[in-house]
Structure 1
């Protein structure tokens, strides 16, 4: 069950080197294409299949990635333009159970992800290393978070969910 939940391992942050920073930004840039490839050719029944027992459907995962991308982009912008802002957490389990996440075609979220990841990567590539030390306060976690952490998490998060879909496709032989 652990392998189904974390097919590419749990998130681990051990700091950021210049090489890691470039790798993570590249992963953010590649997510839209990788996600598109992961769901290519899936019909509605397949999109509405849970990637694991107790997990979300493929459709919900796609819409969640759009929701998360919007929130992460906002967190970058807030931390870059304000002094230690408090971000607004979102309840991802409730968000993936709204009507749009349960029924909308994935194309609408793919468009959001395309645009947001283009904007996010342009923003990230414009930053100096010191900018990644800027922080925001996450009230749900009760802690400060640096933008270096957010970048690492954003890169891991996208590949984590693409791996859910690819693992399901492999198991189901789709």
Structure 2
């Protein structure tokens, strides 16, 4: 496999490219992606067998099962980060080792339904808050310790809409390649 092919498997929709100016229309679009994502994901994966769930979406990548559990873990962190930024002044958030979390027993073997249900709950709560944010609240931020940079909530909405579509594409593309769709 060439490096270019591997990059296409890693980033099937490309990397997140945030517009320099984020419009209200863009925010609404990203929120709609987040609102629909849990159901879209569930519909994509609900009929997969354990063998299919344990298939890597790319060489040396995560399995579908790990991706589903990762989405639940990651979006839970994101929800918490939104709440911190809304209630504190530029909080420094806690980073986590997502690769290590993906190697834990729940990520490698637990039924995906637990994470699908968790995603539904987290997205329901997150979208409820996001739809109410004022311009001032959208401009609040948290500090990411790995880059020591400010992450504005408006940007983070887009990042997690992209993150949803990014991992959805990992699973969907694998399913297409395998003839499972």
Q: For this structure pair, what is the TM-score category when the shorter chain's length is used for normalisation?
A: over 0.9
- TM-score, normalised on structure 1? 0.98
Q: How does 1:80-159 map to 2 (within 5 A)?
A: 80-159=86-165
The reply to whether residue 28 of structure 1 matches residue 34 of structure 2 is yes
Structure-2 residue corresponding to 1:52 = 58
Q: In structure 1, what is the equivalent of residue 9 of structure 2? A: 4
Find the aligned partners of 1:120 and 1:6 in 2 and give their Cα distance: 25
Match of 2:70? 64
- Alignment partner, residue 176 of structure 2: 170
SS at match of 2:151: strand
Where does the alignment leave 5 or more consecutive residues of structure 1 unmatched?
none
- 2:80 and 2:46 mapped to 1: Cα distance? 29
Alignment RMSD: 0.8
Q: 2: CA distance between counterparts of 1:33 and 1:39?
A: 10
Deviation, 1:168, is: 0.2
Cα distance in 2 between the residues matched to 1:37 and 1:7: 20
- How far apart are residue 4 of structure 1 and its match? 1.0
Q: C-alpha separation between the residues in 1 aligned to 2:159 and 2:139?
A: 15
Q: Which runs of 4+ in 1 moved over 6 A?
A: none
Kindly tell me the number of residue pairs found equivalent between the two proteins. 174
RCO higher in 1 or 2 (8 Å CA, sep ≥ 6)?
A: 1
Q: In structure 2, what is the Cα distance between the partners aligned to 1:124 and 1:3? A: 31
SS in 2 for 1:145: strand
* C-alpha displacement of 1:40: 2.3
The secondary structure found in structure 2 opposite 1:126 is coil
How much does 1:156 deviate?
0.2
Secondary structure class of the residue paired with 1:162: helix
